[in-house]
């Protein structure tokens, strides 16, 4: 397999907020912004003109509650964005993050049991399915469940089929580790947990085998693309998955990995372009087919030069 980086390999994440005319800088996250839908469309036009054809949309909702209902109720921010993006850029593949952490008042990725700080799996699968169906209805090409709730791909597949969305695909955040590298993202999406951490549902980075098991489960449940996240500290896992399975594989070059590069470049420690190509090549060499990265637009620009 070629390790050359192409725009077709890249998936560019976007954060969407309500309102108009907004393109807010994100303090912790140099070079990334939160866009209202009108500005999002303008930015996606730039991306598409550069040859990028896959975007991953994260919603930053106007409100939060215990049930995360802002994630799926009529008029939710992601569905609204997807509708407009698909209308204007039918060729761009639109993927949506399906999770609850940005929508729940407690900041966890699932619904909690009534008097206990524990995830209620059945309730969580139910809400994740509602979110996926809402996104599919709006025209998402892929829904990407990232809550690490057991059985989420199967539950979502079933719900999509029942709602008549057999053609909507699923990209599972299959092997998602409990990682410190998500720091800048949580700031961008306002999704940090209010208490505790995510170790009850995200993977323990000390173990390799669990990741392969999670990937196998997601493939069995019907995932069209599986994912390893983060990427750089997990290249061995990417390689393991590639050797074991044929399913298309994405690696998420996450926010913390991105800011490392940015801060170093600003300090003159390295040339941004050089280090980005080295990193992307290493992720492809390990075996990823797709890379979700905040560098995508820069890479597309560099590839054109």
Contacting residues toward ligand PBG, per CB under 6 A: 97, 99, 101, 109, 146, 182, 185-186, 191, 198, 254-255
Strands 23-25, 33-36: pairing is antiparallel
Inter-helix orientation angle 37-49/77-88, to 10°: 40
Residue number, 7 or 179, with CB nearest to ligand PBG: 179
Return d(Cα 98, Cα 109) in angstroms, integer. 10
To the nearest whole angstrom, how small is the minimum distance from the Cβ of residue 181 to ligand PBG? 6
Closest to ligand PBG by CB, 175 or 254: 254
Cβ atoms within 10 Å, residue 56: 21
- Encoding tokens for residue 45? 């036009």
**Between 58 and 240, CB nearer to ligand PBG:** 58
Tell the smallest beta-carbon distance from residue 166 to ligand PBG (Å). Answer: 26
Which among 229, 284, 297, 304 is annotated as catalytic? 229
Catalytic entry in 39, 54, 64, 176: 176
Q: List, in order, residues 6 or more apart from 90 with CB less than 8 Å away.
A: none
Give catalytic status of residue 22 as yes or no.
no
Q: Are 147 and 99 in contact (CB under 8 A)?
A: yes
The residue with its CB nearest to ligand PBG is 185
What is the rounded distance in angstroms from the CA atom of residue 163 to the CA atom of residue 168? 11
229 among known catalytic residues: yes
Min. distance of Cβ 294 from ligand PBG in angstroms? 7
> What's the closest the beta carbon of residue 50 comes to ligand PBG, in angstroms?
21
Q: Which residues are catalytic?
A: 176, 229
């Amino acid at each position: 397999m070629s390790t050359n980086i192409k725009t077709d390999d890249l998936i560019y994440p976007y954060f969407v907020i309500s309102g108009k005319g907004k393109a807010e800088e994100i303090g912790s996250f140099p070079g990334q912004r939160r866009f209202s839908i009108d500005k999002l469309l303008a930015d996606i036009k730039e991306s598409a003109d550069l040859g990028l054809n896959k975007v991953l949309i994260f919603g930053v909702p106007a409100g939060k509650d215990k049930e995360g209902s802002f994630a799926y109720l009529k008029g939710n921010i992601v569905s609204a964005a997807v509708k407009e993006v698909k209308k204007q850029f039918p060729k761009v593949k639109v993927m949506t993050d399906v999770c609850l952490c940005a929508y729940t008042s407690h900041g966890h990725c699932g619904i909690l049991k009534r008097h206990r700080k524990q995830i209620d799996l059945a309730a969580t699968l139910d809400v994740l399915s509602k979110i996926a169906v809402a996104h599919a209805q709006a025209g998402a090409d892929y829904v990407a469940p990232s809550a690490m709730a057991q059985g989420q791909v199967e539950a979502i597949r079933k719900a999509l089929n029942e709602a008549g969305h057999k053609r909507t695909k699923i990209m599972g955040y299959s092997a998602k580790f409990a990682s410190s590298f998500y720091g800048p993202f949580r700031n961008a999406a306002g999704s940090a947990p209010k208490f505790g951490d995510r170790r009850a549902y995200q993977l323990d980075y000390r173990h390799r085998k669990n990741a392969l098991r999670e990937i196998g489960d997601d493939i069995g449940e019907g995932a069209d693309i599986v994912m390893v996240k983060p990427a750089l500290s997990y290249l061995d896992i990417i390689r393991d998955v590639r050797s074991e399975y044929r399913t298309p594989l994405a690696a998420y070059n996450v926010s913390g990995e991105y800011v490392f590069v940015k801060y170093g470049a600003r300090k003159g420690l390295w040339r941004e372009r050089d280090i980005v190509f080295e990193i992307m090549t290493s992720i492809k060499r390990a075996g990823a087919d797709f890379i979700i990265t905040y560098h995508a637009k820069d890479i597309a620009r560099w590839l054109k030069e």
